[in-house]
Structure 1
Amino acid sequence: MATINLVQADFEATVNSDGITLVDFWAEWCGPCKTFGPIFEEASNGHPEITFAKVDTEAEQELSGMAGISSIPTLMIFRDGILLFSQAGALPAPALNELIDKVQGLNMADVHAEIAKQQSDPEAS
């Protein structure tokens, strides 16, 4: 699947959908973003079952603020509406692919159970 451009109106529905969604927050003027962009695009071509989305932080300043973006590039990974990863900085291709493999290999029943446990007993985390 090709990378999609994500705007505020589509953000919530996209990241809350079933499956895995990777979101790259970037800006045209950002050097590390220009380095990470082709790596992100290559990964999107190699994983058509995953949604890859980009948010232009200059055009979508309100969305970037709501997402707590303070440094770019920032990569967020959601699976079935759950934020599993959020980190600023450009990743090399092997690290991105390893991260994707880990997210794909997660047992989401275990993740949901852990979230439920933390919500019922905040001291358990």
Structure 2
Amino acid sequence: MALTENYALTEPSRSEVDLLDGPTLLEFGAPWCGHCRAAQPLLEQAMGGRDSLRHLKIEDGPGRPLGRSFRVKLWPTFILLEHGVELARVVRPTEAEAIEQILGEAGR
């Protein structure tokens, strides 16, 4: 699966996310967020060669239930899931290695 470039217009429900099969990287942020924009090249680098890793880019904000269900407080927040279980997360990464570290072998 490819890197998702645009934020989803509608977010999936928590139950839909919990039912996803295989490794999934959730990215919470906003298109106007400077930290989020700065993390995009890092994410692109970290996602290289991970063709089977699902990437969901979710626009977050007040009243957005999916982000609240994962206790997201700062953007961007990247959460690696497997069958709805959180395996790892990184908040506001400044190096691709931080994202690569949480991904491990997921999607390879």
In structure 2, what is the equivalent of residue 8 of structure 1? 11
Unaligned runs of 5+ in 1: 105-125
Q: 1:11/1:93 Cα in 2 relative to 1: closer, same or farther (>3 Å)?
A: same
Q: Which has the higher helix share?
A: 1
Q: Structure 1 length as normaliser, TM-score? A: 0.65
Higher normalized contact order (CA 8 Å, seq sep 6+, divided by chain length): 2
Give the alignment partner of residue 77 of structure 2, picking from 74, 78, 89. Answer: 74
RMSD, aligned CA: 2.8
The one of 84, 89, 96 aligned to 2:99: 96
Letter in 1 for 2:3: T
The verdict on how the C-alpha distance between 1:8 and 1:28 changes in structure 2, with shifts beyond 3 A counting, is closer
The 5 A counterparts of 1:104-123 are none
Once the two structures are superposed, residues 25-46 of structure 1 have per-residue CA deviations (whole angstroms, 9 ceiling, x without a partner) of 0112211111112322343342
- After TM superposition, give the deviation of residue 72 of structure 1 in Å: 0.8
- SS of 2:104's partner is helix
Rounded Cα–Cα distance in structure 2 between residues aligned with 1:2 and 1:9: 18
> SS of the residue aligned with 2:74?
coil
Which runs of 4 or more aligned residues in structure 1 lie more than 4 Å from their structure 2 counterparts after TM superposition? none
Q: 51, 61, 69: which one pairs with 2:54?
A: 51
Aligned residue pair count = 105
Amino acid at match of 1:72: W
CA distance in 2, matches of 1:56, 1:85: 20
CA distance in 2, matches of 1:45, 1:55: 20
Matches of 1:18 and 1:92 in 2, distance apart? 28
Question: What fraction of aligned residue pairs are identical, expressed as a percent?
Answer: 23
Residue 22, structure 1, aligned to residue 25, structure 2: yes
Q: Give the TM-score normalised by the residue count of structure 2.
A: 0.73
Ranges in structure 2 where 5+ consecutive residues have no aligned partner: none
CA distance in 2, matches of 1:13, 1:61: 15
